[in-house]
Amino acid sequence: MLQLQSIGISPNTAGVEVRERMWFTPEEARAALQRLAGEHFGEAVLLSTCNRTEFYGMPRRQGMD
């Protein structure tokens, strides 16, 4: 069974100082997704806005990719 993994921060979980440090520009988001998808995840999505950053990924399975 494949398991979706997620991690994120929002105004409910982190102060503005932390959220500002975790914000990605579009170029940074593309680069991060390429690294993560290439090394650890078969599929991945990164959402970064002024208030939240969220990552969702489907881990690679041995022998499947």
pLDDT in tens, 2-59: 689 999 999 999 999 999 888 899 999 999 888 887 778 888 899 988 889 999 999 8
The more confidently predicted of residues 5 and 62 is: 5
Looking at residue 2, what is its pLDDT? Answer: 67
Q: How many whole angstroms separate alpha carbon 22 and alpha carbon 37?
A: 19
The question of whether 50 is a catalytic residue gets the answer yes
What's residue 15's pLDDT? 93
Cα dihedral 61/42/7/52 (nearest 10):
-170
Catalytic residue among 50, 62, 63, 64: 50
Check whether 65 has a pLDDT greater than 60. no
The whole-model pTM stands at 0.76
